[in-house]
Chains A and B, each alone.
Chain A
C-alpha cells in the first residue's frame, strides 16, 4: 500500500524575502523583487534587471570554511534546507537518518564558479584552477552538501530539467516517500545564475525582458505587453513527510502532495510544443495520478514566464486540460514578483501553492494591465484573493521540452 505524503516544513531564499513569513507577506501583497543588477556590470547587456537575493549571509547557516567551498547556488540550498527543517520542527539527531533523504536540483549549477575558474585557466594556465572547481560547480552538489551538512543518509539525488527542475525534484521525492523508501525527503530547487555568461546566453536567445527603466514592472506574465522573462535567483526547499510519521510527532501539515505528472514535448530545444500539448499532457497525467477530476482543481500556480510563447501556450494547455472549467479556476504567475528562478522556480512555487491552500489566499499576478486576447483566463490580476480552494496544481516547463506538474491538496483526514 502506498503512503500518503504531506508537506510539514518549508524554507525559502528569494528576491522577495529570505524567510518564509516575510516572503509570504510579500507574495500576498504583490511586491516585486526585481531591480537593476548589482552582481556584475550590465552596461553592455540589453537586459539590465533581475530578481537578486539581497542581504543573504551564508555564515548564518555554515562556517566560513564551508562558505568558501560552496557556490552560491549550494549556499542557497543549504540555507533553505536548514530553514525548512526548523520550520518542520524536525531534529535529525533524534531520528533514523537512513530514513531521511535529499532530492534537490539545479537547472544550471555553479556557473559563477565555472566563469571564475575558466578566467584563471585562460589567464594563468591549468595549474591555477582550484581543486574545488569541480565539486563546487556540478549541479548535484546542492543535494550532496545538504546531506553532508544535515547528516541525511537516505535516498539522495538531484533532478536537472532546466526550469522544470524544482517540480521534478519534488514530484520524484514525493514518490520515494509514497513507496515507503524514506520517512522524510528534503526536496526542492536552487539556482544562482545572475552571472555574465548566463545573461549573455539568455540575451542572445532574446528570452529576457529589456524593460530596464521600470524593473518592477518588467515581469508581466499573461499581459499583452510582456516581452520576456526576468531572471531570479534563490532556493525553495520543502519537507515531504510520510503522513503517519508526521501525525505521530504532531507536526503541522501545510498540504498533501497527491499527484505528479511529467512529459516531454519531443519538439524543440527551447520553444514549447504547439498549443502547449506537452504541458497539457503533463497536467492530465498529474490529475490522473491524483485521482482528481478537472473540476476539483481551484487554482493553478502557472509556469507563466512572461515570454510571448510560454504564456500563450500554457493558457492553451490549461484550456485543453480543463475544458470549460479553465474559465472557472484561478491561475496566477508569481514570477511577476520573484522573477523566473529557473531550477528553483518549482521549489518556490510549490511553497506558494501549499501556503495558498493552507491560508485560503490565492496570490496575484502583478503588472497585469493589458489583456491579451490569447490569454483569456482568470489570472488573479494584481491583488490577492481570499478563496479557500481544495486542490491546486503547480506547473513547471523547461528548455528541452520538460513539462512537470504537481498536485497539492488541503490536508483532510480520510
Chain B
C-alpha cells in the first residue's frame, strides 16, 4: 500500500506540478490538485504504464481521488 502510494504520488507530482505533501489519499485530482479533464486522461495512461495494468474508460470515470487510484491499483495488479 505504502509503496503504491509513493509511486502514485511521484507520478502526480510530475504531471500536475504539485507538492508531494498535497497528494494525500483524500485529495481530489480535479478539485484539490488542479487537474483538468486532459490531465486526468493523461494520468490514467501514465498509471497504466507504471503498473502494467489496463483501466477501462468506465473504471477511469469512477476515479476521483488519490485514494481511488491506490485502491484500484492494489485490487487489479
Contacts and interface: CB of A to CB of B under 8 A. Distances in A.
B15 A65 contact: yes
Interface string A57-88: 00000011110110000000000000000000
Interface stretch (B22-30, B38-46, B67-75): B38-46
Centre residue among A68, A127, A128, A131 by max chain B CB count within 10 A: A131
Contacts of B17: 63-66
Contacts of B11: none
Contacts of A135: 38
Nearest to A68: B15
Interface string B34-54: 000110011001000000000
A128 B41 CA distance: 10
A68 B43 CA distance: 13
Contacts of B45: 127-128, 130-131
A65 B16 contact: yes
Q: Is the interface of A mostly helix, strand, loop or mixed?
A: helix
A132 B16 contact: no
A130 B42 CA distance: 6
Contacts of B37: 131
A37 to B, nearest CB: 28
A68 B42 CA distance: 11
Contacts of A68: 15
Interface in A36-63: 63
Nearest to A135: B38
Centre residue among A63, A65, A130 by max chain B CB count within 10 A: A65
21 contacts: A63-B17, A64-B14, A64-B17, A65-B15, A65-B16, A65-B17, A66-B17, A68-B15, A69-B38, A127-B45, A128-B45, A130-B42, A130-B45, A131-B37, A131-B38, A131-B41, A131-B42, A131-B45, A132-B38, A132-B42, A135-B38
Given A65-B16, A131-B41, 11 more contacts: A64-B14, A64-B17, A69-B38, A127-B45, A130-B42, A130-B45, A131-B38, A131-B42, A132-B38, A132-B42, A135-B38
Interface of B: 14-17, 37-38, 41-42, 45
A-B interface, 6 closest residue pairs, ranked by CB to CB distance from nearest = A65-B17, A131-B41, A131-B38, A64-B17, A63-B17, A131-B42
